Amino acid sequence: MISKRPPEAADRAVPGHWEGDLSLGLGSSAIGTLVERTTCFNLLLHLPRMPDYGRYARIKNGPTLAGHGADAVRDAITLAC
């Protein structure tokens, strides 16, 4: 939770604290952003659809195959860094 982050992250004095966000577009397209809070350096994360997207009927609370679930974001961050 944001309220539990260390004080040095709030005042942006120490580099190395990153903030992430997710923007959803039309048709469940998505892009992730990572911003380093001291320098405002930005990374954009390409979030393509997962391989099985559209192959099966959607299942409520099933896997997020549109490309913006935890697995897709983790993979995109790993590739970017």
Nearest to 49 by CA among 35, 34, 62, 63: 63
pLDDT at 46 over 60: yes
Nearest to 44 by CA among 77, 9, 12: 77
pLDDT band of residue 42 (cuts 50, 70, 90) is very high
pLDDT at 63 over 70: no
For the chain, the average pLDDT equals 79
Amino acid 67: pLDDT: 64
pLDDT at 55 over 60: yes
Amino acid 35: pLDDT: 92
Amino acid 23: pLDDT: 86
pLDDT band of residue 47 (cuts 50, 70, 90) is confident
